[in-house]
Amino acid sequence: MMKLGWIGTGVMGAAIVRNLMMAGYDVTVYNRTKSKADALVAAGATWAATPAAVAETSDVIFTMVGFPRDVEQVYFGDHGIFSGLAAGKTVIDMTTSQPKLAVKIATYAREHDMHALDAPVSGGDIGAKNATLTVMVGGDADTYEAMLPLFDVLGHKVNHFGAAGTGQHAKMANQIMIAGTMTGLTEMLLYTKAAGLDPEKVLATLSSGGADNWSMDNYVPRILKDDYTPGFFARHFLKDLRIALSEADAMGLDLVATAQAKRLYEVMVDVKGLGDQGTQGLINIY
């Protein structure tokens, strides 16, 4: 079996690595904060001291880090992936990042006889743990086909959208949709409380009708328990909305509702300092 490398063992990354290991793959891991990889190493993963060291010992290297600047550093920085990657190997960036950065990575890989895919995911911590993620892939079609067995381990829906960067564009569409569901579920709960309704009964009713959506089903139960731990960090979601709106602006689109959602998350993250809460923490700014 292919030897795998994984860089970025946060909430979702660690869960995906466990699924790959359970499927029988040897996985070498790196994380900027080593302690966040300790449990995986104890479970059988191999630790590497740098992204370059991961690349040297792996056939396929996945990355799932926080921000585009982190992606840039992991691939192109000192001791980055490309400083240790040999021709013929494959990199797969699963970070939600800028389409233009995905193109930059793919261009460098192609020029050095390597392979690259951008493959951001949707499904949060639950999808990562249960291997039910949706994977949106951009890049060379032959490389995509070769990597499908790996994607099938971690997700239940995998789609290839075209050339490098298209996976990231598909993820932006996903985040635009989620922006609306997060503001909707937050204001639904506020209305429910003001009207004196039983929120559990409201959730059960809405979940069986036309208002049903993934965000409501997964995040409202957490809110009702005052659980704001991150399945997906609010600061990362704000980053995604900023990328989506930048791309929309470049295409001449005025996404009014998404811009409003971004403003609300800016209050949560930049003003209230709640960026380490999950996206469901939006209710805490109202």
Q: E strands within the chain? A: 4-7, 27-30, 46-47, 60-63, 90-93, 115-118, 121-122, 133-139, 155-162
| Spatial contact of 107 and 164, defined as CB atoms under 8 Å apart | yes
Q: Which residues contact 134 (CB under 8 A, 6 or more apart)?
A: 121, 122, 123, 127, 155, 156, 157, 158, 159, 174
Structure tokens at 125: 């911590």
d(CA 1, CA 26): 8
171 tagged catalytic: yes
Tell me the three-class secondary structure of 214-280, residue by residue.
HHHHHHHHHHHCCCCCCCCEHHHHHHHHHHHHHHHHHCCCCCHHHHHHHHHHHHHHHHCCCCCCEHH
Q: Which residues contact 281 (CB under 8 A, 6 or more apart)?
A: 228, 234, 268, 274
As a whole number of angstroms, the longest Cα–Cα distance in the chain is 64
Q: Any bridge partners for residue 60, and if so which? A: 4, 90
Q: Which of 89, 104, 171, 239 is catalytic?
A: 171
Q: HSE-up of 52 (CA within 13 Å, CB side)?
A: 9
The set of catalytic residues is 171
